Structure 1
C-alpha cells in the first residue's frame, strides 16, 4: 500500500501537465479528465505488475499514454462523424458545458486561446496530436512518431501541415493593414466587453452597417452600439482571429465556434461587420490564429511565430 500511495503522489505531480496536454488535444475538459484518469489506472496496473519501477521517464511515459488515449478518442469521434451539439450562449454560464465545471472550462479556454482551440478542432486526429505535442509542448518527433504510428519524417510533415492551418495564409499575415485592423478589432472588443457605449461610438464609423447571417440589418453607429451593449455577455467568449484571411472575431464559449464576425475597417474604425451564427456557414469559414499583438510568442505558440 505504501508503494501505491507513493506512486499516486508521483502521479499527482504530473496531473496538471497531463490535463493540459489532453485538453489541447480533445478540446473538452471532461474528456481530458477521463483520459488522465485512465492513464492513472494504467499506471497503477503497471505498478501491480511490478513494472513501474522500470519506468525511467515517468513524465514521458504518462504523456505517451495520455496522447495515445486522446488519439483513440479523436479517431472514434471522427469515425462517428460527431458534430458538437448546438452551443448556445445562456444567461448563466453554468447552464452549459460538457459535464465538468463550466466556469473552470471557460478559464481554461481563455488561457489556451479560443481561436487556437477553434482551429485545433478542424485538424485531423493525427495532425492534432503531432501539432500539440511538438509545437505546444516541444516533444521531439522521434517520440511522437510511435504514438501516431508514422515515421519521424512523416510525423514532422503532419505537424507542418497542421501549423500551416493554425497560422493561416502567409499573404494575410504579411498584409500591411493587419496591425491596424487588429488594433481596431481589439478596441471594439474591449468596448463591447465593458458595455461602454461611448467607447463603441468612438470605434464605430458613423454609417456602420451590421448584418446577421445576411438578413437582419442595423445601420448607424448609435443603433449598432446599443445592440452591441445588449449582447455584451457574448464578448466575454470572443477573441480576435483571422477569419477568411482578414482580422475578425470568433465567439467560442468552450473552444467551440458558435459565432464569427467578419469585420471591415476603414479609417481606423469599424465600417461594417457581419455576424455569422448559422452552423452550415460557420463550417465554411477559414479560421486561423493571429500572431500575439505584442509580437512575442505565447506559451502555446512558441514554434508558430
Structure 2
C-alpha cells in the first residue's frame, strides 16, 4: 500500500461518516468517498500539510454538490422519502449524543434543512469543526457559515425529540414489539404505542407501501399485528425472517428472506417509554447495505 493509500485508508471512516450525515444515503456517501479518493490520488500531495482537513474538505464539497443534485428527485419521490438505513456497531452508541447524531429521527430532521445548512450543522454539531474550518470546507465566508449554523441549530432544536429513552429500555421495548408483531399480539402492541403514534413507510414506488403517514395506536397496531400473516411482495410469511439488530445507532428490526432484506423498522420514544414514531423502509434500492450486512462504525468526532 502506498503512502497516499495509507493516509486515505486511515481517514476513510471519517469521510463516510461526514458524507452519510450530509446525504442521508449510504450509497451516495460511498460514491462521494470514492470520488474523494480519485481527487486525492491525482492531487499534488507535496503541498498538503493536513491530509485529514484536505480530505474532509473534498468529501464535504462533493456531498454538498450531490445533495443539491438529488433534491429534485427527493421532492418528486413517490410517498415519504426516508434516509437509507445502515447497520451500526455498538460503538456507535457509546454516548447518547453519538447515537442521536446518526439516528433516523435526526436524519429525517436534517432533510428539512437547505443543503448548506445541513452540511454546516453536520460539521459543527457532529464533528466539532470551528466556523473557520467549516468555511474553508464548504468554500463560504465565515459570516455565511455562522448564519447557516444558527438557522440550522434553531430549526433542528425546535423539531428534535425532547425525551430520550436509554439504550437498555430501547432494546427491551424493541424485543417486546418484535415478539408482539410475530405473535400477532395487538394488545401488547397497543400498550407499546403512544396514542398518537405515526408510522412512516418508504417503498419509493418500488414496493407497495402507504403513501401517507399512518397515525393512531389502533391503526398502527393492527398494521403490525397482521404483517407476518400476509404474503408480502410475493413472499409467503413463513419465508420471512424477523430479527432485532442495531440500525442507525439504536435497536431496530429487519425483515428478510434468505437472499435479501425486505424492510427495516426503527423507533422514536416519548417520556413514558412509548413509541411515538416508526420508520419503515422497504424501498429495495435503500436496502443493499442491509442485505450484505455491511456494518458501519460511524465516526463521531473530527
TM category (shorter chain) comes to 0.5 to 0.7
**2:235 alignment partner in structure 1:** none
* Kept after mapping to 2: 8 A contact 1:127/1:162: yes
DSSP 3-state at the match of 1:204: helix
Bigger Rg over Cα = 1
* Kept after mapping to 2: 8 A contact 1:114/1:252: no
* Kept after mapping to 2: 8 A contact 1:39/1:65: yes
Is 2:87 the counterpart of 1:107? yes
Is 2:189 the counterpart of 1:192? no
DSSP 3-state at the match of 2:119: helix
Is 2:62 the counterpart of 1:69? yes
CA-CA distance at 1:21 after TM superposition: 0.8
Report matched runs for 1:38-53 at 5 Å. Answer: 38-46=35-43, 51-53=44-46
TM-score normalised per structure 1:
0.57
CA-CA distance at 1:88 after TM superposition: 10
DSSP 3-state at the match of 2:135: helix
Among 11, 15, 37, the alignment partner of 2:12 is 15
* Kept after mapping to 2: 8 A contact 1:115/1:241: no
DSSP 3-state at the match of 2:108: helix
Among 199, 204, 223, the alignment partner of 2:190 is 204
The alignment of Structure 1 onto Structure 2 pairs a total of residues equal to 230
Among 44, 49, 53, the alignment partner of 1:56 is 49
* Kept after mapping to 2: 8 A contact 1:14/1:59: yes
Residue segments in structure 2 that go unaligned for 5+ positions in a row = 93-101, 200-211, 231-240, 244-251, 254-264, 287-297
C-alpha RMSD over aligned residues: 4.9
* Kept after mapping to 1: 8 A contact 2:104/2:266: yes
| CA offsets 1:77-133 (integer angstroms, 9 cap, x no match) | 2366654455799xxxxxxx98xxxxxx53149952111111112211001100111
Paired with 1:220 and 1:41, the residues of 2 have a C-alpha distance of 50
Q: Using CA pairs below 8 Å that are at least 6 residues apart, which structure has the higher relative contact order? A: 2
Is 2:32 the counterpart of 1:30? no
* Kept after mapping to 1: 8 A contact 2:135/2:142: yes
**1:122 alignment partner in structure 2:** 112
CA-CA distance at 1:204 after TM superposition: 3.4
Is 2:229 the counterpart of 1:239? no
TM-score normalised per structure 2:
0.58
| CA offsets 1:227-269 (integer angstroms, 9 cap, x no match) | 4776996962222068xxx9721305389xx9xxxxxxxxxxx
* Kept after mapping to 1: 8 A contact 2:32/2:63: yes
Among 232, 249, 271, the alignment partner of 2:277 is 249
| CA offsets 1:191-219 (integer angstroms, 9 cap, x no match) | 212337698635736xx899996999996
DSSP 3-state at the match of 2:136: helix
